[in-house]
Amino acid sequence: MTHNSSTKLSLLGLDRHELKAELEKIGEKPFRAKQLWHWIYFRGVTDFSRMTTIARPLQEKLGEHYVVGRPELSKQQTSKDTSHKWLFKFIDGNEAETVFIPEEGRGALCLSSQIGCTLTCTFCHTGTQRLVRNLTTSEIVGQLMLARDTYGEWPSPDGERLFSNIVMMGMGEPLFNYDNVAKALHIIMDGDGISISKRRITLSTSGVVPLIRKCGAELGVNLAISLHAVSDELRNIIMPINKKYPLKELLQSCREYPGSSNSRRITFEYVMLKGINDSPADARELVRLVKGIPAKFNLIPFNKWPGAEFNCSEAPVIRRFSEILNDGGYSAPIRVPRGRDILAACGQLKSASETEKISKLKLRRQD
Ligand code: SAH
Ligand code: SF4
């Protein structure tokens, strides 16, 4: 539970049951939880005195015990291409990033699930961050709440939305923080509040097989798999989690993923690493591997970061790779990198303070 400096409990991130229990603790009836839920998650109100369906004495009582709460914003930047990045500073001083990618009539918000990442994929900047902890439910939902504050998207619109889609593709492996991520997504999906449907939420995972099953059964959101290699030999090296859950098991869990169909396909993300995983033979093997899975691909040009040992495949090589997948019957768009100028592209996220700390260290070494 998060308390602010005056030790008031923040209500953000409590689920409906917890909210009810809190209100009971201060002698209020459970139906008040429904009212509060509406003000917090449908209207985005943070000040109890603006909750006009709640009588003044109760507003005051709530204010004595609680805050609605938002994470502290440390920095925000807008890219030339209109994507936007927030750097959050949480109560223990740790930081995580959130990225918004607006498009015509819609937009995807990319949420972080951990500070750093539990895993150490060799092409990923986040994976090199030493400090790791799970984000709390409040910190995950808080990213979306503050993003919507920034763009003034309250109350939750009926029709078109700026924040129409949620992707769990920021910092961290969401399935290694399953409980908090699941709770946050239930809050985000709740029809009386933020109300974003599971069909508009995508969870990206490096392949934590048992939890893919759990995620399918309990959340039913869209699934994206960071595949990146067609052999266990290579995947073991670039994504060490493969040693625990090899390709065969991973693909089997995709075959069994509930709710996937030709109109709701599993996305296989594939980062294009020059000379490593980008040959025509790799593309053909990919088509063979996903046979029987309602699949689509997303080819991600590798985003280089300082110290990375890989390079991005040449554009014609990526196009050829995409064509082979198309010929195999699969859609395989090449992702256009967004927000490169503000270091918001895939795999570049790492808390700025850590990047600064490292560069200061390097400077000192050079003295
Ligand atoms: N941990 C989860 C979600 C976050 S990563 C996962 O691995 O799926 C979001 C996507 O960016 C993943 O597909 C990841 O493999 C990819 N990625 C990581 N580093 C990258 C880089 N330097 N360039 C391009 N994509 C990268
Ligand atoms: Fe973690 Fe995903 Fe990066 Fe791998 S690619 S280190 S799982 S964030």
Residue 60 token pair = 């005051």
Ligand 2 within 6 A of 226 CB?
Answer: yes
Decide: 174 and 116 in contact? Cβ < 8 Å. Answer: no
Ligand 2 within 6 A of 121 CB?
Answer: yes
**What is the pLDDT, as a whole number, of residue 345?**
65
Cα of 38 to ligand 1 centre, how many Å? 35
Residue pLDDT tens, the chain, 367 long: 455 545 799 999 999 999 999 999 999 999 999 999 999 999 999 999 999 999 999 999 999 999 998 999 999 999 999 999 999 999 999 999 999 999 998 999 999 999 999 899 999 988 888 878 999 999 999 999 999 999 999 999 988 999 999 999 999 999 999 999 999 999 999 999 999 999 999 999 999 999 999 999 999 999 999 999 999 999 999 999 999 999 999 999 999 999 888 889 999 999 999 999 999 999 999 999 999 999 999 999 999 888 899 999 999 999 999 999 999 999 999 998 788 778 766 656 565 555 544 444 433 333 3
Cα of 170 to ligand 2 centre, how many Å? 9
Q: One of 117, 215, 254, 346 is an active-site residue; which one?
A: 346
- Could you tell me the sign of the dihedral formed by the alpha carbons of 42, 44, 46, 51, in that order? negative
Cα of 62 to ligand 1 centre, how many Å? 42
CA neighbor of 251 nearest in space, from 213, 285, 293: 293
| Nearest protein Cα to ligand 2, atom 6 | 127
The residues, any chain, with a CB within 8 Å of residue 285's CB and separated by 6 or more, are 230, 231
Cα of 164 to ligand 2 centre, how many Å? 24
Decide: 147 and 86 in contact? Cβ < 8 Å. Answer: yes
| Nearest protein Cα to ligand 1, atom 1 | 173
Decide: 89 and 146 in contact? Cβ < 8 Å. Answer: no
- Residue 117 designated active-site: no
In the CATH hierarchy, which fold is given to the domain comprising 72-359?
Answer: TIM Barrel (3.20.20)
Q: Which ligand is nearest to the CA of 99?
A: 1
Question: What is the domain partition of the chain in residue ranges?
Answer: 9-67, 72-359
**What is the pLDDT, as a whole number, of residue 130?**
80
**What is the pLDDT, as a whole number, of residue 355?**
52
Cα of 174 to ligand 2 centre, how many Å? 10
- Residue 97 designated active-site: yes
Amino acid found at 85: K
Query: Ligand 1 pocket: which residues have CB below 6 Å?
Result: 123-125, 169, 173, 204-206, 226, 269, 271, 300, 302-303, 346-347
Decide: 136 and 13 in contact? Cβ < 8 Å. Answer: yes
Triad 245, 230, 350: Cα angle to 5°: 70
* Nearest atom, ligand 1, residue 170 CA: 4
**What is the pLDDT, as a whole number, of residue 105?**
87
Decide: 112 and 166 in contact? Cβ < 8 Å. Answer: no
CA distance 117 to 96: 11
- Could you tell me the sign of the dihedral formed by the alpha carbons of 256, 257, 258, 259, in that order? negative
Q: How far apart are the first and last CA of the chain?
A: 44
CA 340 from chain centre, in angstroms, equals: 18
Residue 184 token pair = 């946050």
Decide: 127 and 120 in contact? Cβ < 8 Å. Answer: yes
In the CATH hierarchy, which fold is given to the domain comprising 9-67?
Answer: DNA polymerase; domain 1 (1.10.150)
Half-sphere exposure of 261 (CA within 13 A, CB side): 4
Residue entry with tokens 């209109």: 82
Q: One of 22, 97, 139, 173 is an active-site residue; which one?
A: 97
**What is the pLDDT, as a whole number, of residue 352?**
54
Amino acid found at 117: C
**What is the pLDDT, as a whole number, of residue 354?**
57
Q: Is 85 exposed, middle or buried (0-12, 13-18, 19+ CB in 10 A)?
A: buried
CA distance 84 to 352: 15
User: At 131, is the secondary structure helix, strand, or coil?
Assistant: coil
Ligand 2 within 6 A of 174 CB?
Answer: no
Residue 92 token pair = 């223990």
Cα of 169 to ligand 2 centre, how many Å? 9
Which residues is 312 bridged to in the sheet? 273
**What is the pLDDT, as a whole number, of residue 262?**
86
Q: Which ligand is nearest to the CA of 309?
A: 1
CA neighbor of 205 nearest in space, from 217, 196, 215, 193: 215
Which secondary-structure segment (H or E) carries 212?
helix 209-218
**What is the pLDDT, as a whole number, of residue 362?**
38
Ligand 2 within 6 A of 119 CB?
Answer: yes
* Nearest atom, ligand 2, residue 125 CA: 3
Structure pTM?
Answer: 0.92
